[in-house]
Amino acid sequence: MTATDQSVLINGFGLLFVILNSFGLGLRLPVGKVVAQAVAHWKITVSVLAVNFLVIPLVFVGYLLTVASSIPDEIKVGFCIAALSAGMPFAPILAKLAKADVSIATTLLVVLTIGTVVALPVGLPLAIDAVDAQLRTTAWDVAWPLLLFLLLPIVLGCAFRVWWPELTAPLRQWVVRVAILCLLFNLNFTLVAYWSQFVESWGTESYVAAIAGPFIGLGCGYLLVTALRVKDLGIRHASEVTTAVRNIGPMLLMMIFPFVSDPLVTVSITILNTIGIIVVLAFVLMWRRALPTDEAVAAR
């Protein structure tokens, strides 16, 4: 298989994942309930937006300028993309695994995904300039893939849910399954195609920076719910999960379109996203084990 064939497979499966995952989100999205949840918990909603699109990007940029200043420019760009891509697609699944508030996680996922469509085109060129990377992009180069392949499928999914409600449930199941399969194919082909770059990146402190990523998100999420004095564990963990891991959808679109000719951008995003999911999954399992059992609650 030639490098061109591998690139086509990587980008094709990545693009299919983004489209199908976004369409699937629209299929399971009760718009009225999401709006009501966002309004009812407006302090958390506003704070999560501020943390994800102001605090975390500033911390990431500061980290890249100081502790991780020696890593390659393309990897810095990948981390800048990740810093501005909020709203992890699997946040509701992780929230359910942690026995957290799934509806809050879903609401924050939608809010952050829409926020990413606005923040990434505005913030990415500024973030790249700030870390002195040699790569450049424009707001429109970033915006049009997000609008076409991320936002439009969500809208179409919502419309399908309204027009054909009886078909929504079975279609949603298949869409989600195929989307996850496409993501797994994308990851496997990426590892095969860029294995030498993954190995070369080992000595550049890129993996240390990638490990720092989810801890920055988890730390910011913890400070957020602590500052707001959120006592409900379900809401606390749902907010922390949605803040901890970045959104792979926009990151894949940046790999496929503006930075398709820069393999280290792909490598850095793959490293950070994979490590991030593993770290947050470990915290989710710890939170689940720390919850009191039904018998203990009843005894109280």
Least confident window among 20-29, 132-141, 287-296: 287-296
Distance CA 161, CA 174 (A): 15
* pTM of the shown model: 0.92
- In this prediction, residue 253 has a pLDDT band, given cuts at 50, 70 and 90, of very high
pLDDT digits (tens, 9 = 90+) for 73-116: 899 999 999 999 998 888 899 999 999 999 999 999 999 999 99
Instruction: Determine, yes or no, domain membership for 180.
Output: yes
pLDDT at 134: 84
- In this prediction, residue 46 has a pLDDT band, given cuts at 50, 70 and 90, of very high
pLDDT at 300: 34
Instruction: Determine, yes or no, domain membership for 161.
Output: yes
Distance CA 112, CA 106 (A): 10
pLDDT digits (tens, 9 = 90+) for 263-280: 999 999 999 888 989 999
Instruction: Determine, yes or no, domain membership for 126.
Output: yes
pLDDT at 6: 85
pLDDT at 293: 60
Of the two residues 207 and 48, the one the predictor is more confident about is 48
Instruction: Determine, yes or no, domain membership for 299.
Output: no
To 10 degrees, what angle do helices 56-65 and 73-83 make?
170
Segment 204-212 shows an average pLDDT of 81
Mean pLDDT of the chain: 90
Residue 258's identity, in one-letter code, is: P
Instruction: Determine, yes or no, domain membership for 200.
Output: yes
Instruction: Determine, yes or no, domain membership for 298.
Output: no
- In this prediction, residue 224 has a pLDDT band, given cuts at 50, 70 and 90, of very high
Would you say 267 and 194 are in contact if contact means Cβ atoms under 8 Å apart?
A: yes
Range of the domain at 42: 3-291
89: CATH: 1.20.1530.20
**Measured CA angle at 86 (ends 35, 78), to 5 deg:** 160
Instruction: Determine, yes or no, domain membership for 296.
Output: no
Number of domains in the chain: 1
Of the two residues 206 and 136, the one the predictor is more confident about is 136
Would you say 220 and 56 are in contact if contact means Cβ atoms under 8 Å apart?
A: yes
pLDDT at 202: 72
Q: Is the dihedral of CA 164, 167, 173, 174 positive or negative?
A: negative
Instruction: Determine, yes or no, domain membership for 297.
Output: no
pLDDT digits (tens, 9 = 90+) for 121-150: 999 999 999 987 788 899 999 999 999 999
